């Protein structure tokens, strides 16, 4: 990324080749829609191109990329919610547990719970627990110690569990 910021257009091709599969899988797992995943990862690389001047070369590239990806995904979910879209992959057959209405309601409640976290806490929780990014890499990206990032994640998860128990949200209350 440093080379691309300095004007080497071949560096962007290398970044795309290296991170395109990871970005696509990131979006595919979260949208269950190959078409939506493809649209989102293309938008991701377009945003990287547009915001290349904001990249801090002293920080690792992958967390920056996935932070942008996560924001794109959040925007996409909000847009879909406002339009009341439900991707085909997220539809579930009616079951004895309450059907797709319960699944959608649980997801909405989880999103509301996550919205109670600060942006930094949400980034740490999603990066560490969803993306599998290691704490040392997150600490370096955030300019904090590894212990501080672990403590932030632990406290944020504890608050989410307490809030989930109070609201009796299925997936987080367990």
45 assigned to some structural domain:
yes
Q: What is the pLDDT of residue 173?
A: 46
How far is the C-alpha of 1 from the C-alpha of 56, rounded, in Å?
9
Domain boundary among 60, 86, 112: 86
Say what the pLDDT of residue 81 is. Answer: 67
Quick one: 1 and 82 in the same domain?
yes
pLDDT number for residue 93? 53
Claim to verify: residue 149 and residue 71 sit in the same structural domain: no
Is the whole model's pTM more than 0.75, yes or no?
Answer: no
Q: Are residues 49 and 7 part of one domain?
A: yes
Of 86, 106, 137, at which residue does a domain stop?
86
Residue 44 is part of a domain; what is its CATH number?
A: 1.10.1740.10
For residue 61, what are the CA distances in angstroms to 26, 39, 52, 54, 138? 16, 21, 11, 12, 11
Residue 31 lies in a domain: yes
User: How confident is the model at residue 169, as a pLDDT?
Assistant: 46
Say if 93 falls within a structural domain. Answer: no
Q: What is the pLDDT of residue 151?
A: 92
Give 41: exposed, middle or buried? Use CB within 10 Å, 0-12, 13-18, 19+: buried
Shared domain check, 108 and 68: no
For residue 162, the model assigns a pLDDT of 78
**91 domain-assigned:** no
Domain of residue 162, residue span: 98-174
* Exposed/middle/buried for residue 169 (C-beta within 10 Å: 0-12, 13-18, 19+): buried
Structurally, the chain folds into a number of domains equal to: 2
**Domain identity same for 80 and 112:** no
Choosing from 56, 86, 116, the residue where a domain stops is 86
Residues in the chain with pLDDT < 50? Answer: 94-96, 169-170, 173-174
Contact 105, 139 (CB under 8 A): no
């Amino acid at each position: 990324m440093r080379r691309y910021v300095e004007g080497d257009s071949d560096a962007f091709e290398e970044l795309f080749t290296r991170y395109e599969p990871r970005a696509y899988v990131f979006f595919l797992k979260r949208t269950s829609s190959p078409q939506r995943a493809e649209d989102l990862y293309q938008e991701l690389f377009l945003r990287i191109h547009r915001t290349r001047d904001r990249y801090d070369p002293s920080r690792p590239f992958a967390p920056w990329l996935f932070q942008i990806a996560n924001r794109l995904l959040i925007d996409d979910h909000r847009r879909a919610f406002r339009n009341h879209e439900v991707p085909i992959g997220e539809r579930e057959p009616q079951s004895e547990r309450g059907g797709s209405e319960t699944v959608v309601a649980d997801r909405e409640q989880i999103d509301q719970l996550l919205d109670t976290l600060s942006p930094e806490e949400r980034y740490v929780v999603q990066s560490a627990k969803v993306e599998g990014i290691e704490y040392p890499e997150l600490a370096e990206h955030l300019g904090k110690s590894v212990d501080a990032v672990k403590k932030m994640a632990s406290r944020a998860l504890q608050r989410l569990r307490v809030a989930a128990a109070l609201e009796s949200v299925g997936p987080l209350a367990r």
